Amino acid sequence: MHQRRKAREVALQVLYELDVLNIDAKEAIRLFWNNFQATEDSKKFSTLLIEGAWDNREQIDNLIRSCSEHWSLERMSRVDRNILRMAVYELLYCPNIPPKVTLNEAIDLGKMYGSENSGSFINGILDAVYLTLYRETMKQDVNGSCNS
């Protein structure tokens, strides 16, 4: 579990860099690993999160926007925004990771790297995202079972 936490921390750092600089994601990942060491599993998982969140950020950002009342994405801190992107990527594309784990990890990262309110802010938005995704899944399941 410690390796995945470290991978999420790396992903947050690189996503933050991508949010600030105009640089290719693969280049940012390469530059990071030229200066830091980690296990192969951590490197793989962090790369998955970075590339996945960055490559799908339009869809992810739209989902975050739809679930964040009174907060535009641009108004969020870069730390919070990129923790949310990474967590929403996990919720959408990593079915092998329990949603509870994704939410807890994101909240913990917010508490460690964000402001004093980041943990609760991230929790509120991710709860809304999860409920939205859960409702969509339930609709598909119901519609799918009716068409069988």
Convert the pLDDT of each residue in 102-128 to its tens digit: 999 999 999 999 999 999 999 999 999
- pTM equals 0.91
Number of domains in the chain: 1
CATH code of the domain containing 38: 1.10.940.10
3 state SS for 105-129: HHHHHHHHHCCCCHHHHHHHHHHHH
- Within 36-117, where are the H helices? 40-55, 57-67, 78-93, 99-113
pLDDT digits over 6-53, tens only?
999 999 999 999 999 989 999 999 999 999 999 999 999 999 999 999
Show the domain range for 54.
2-146
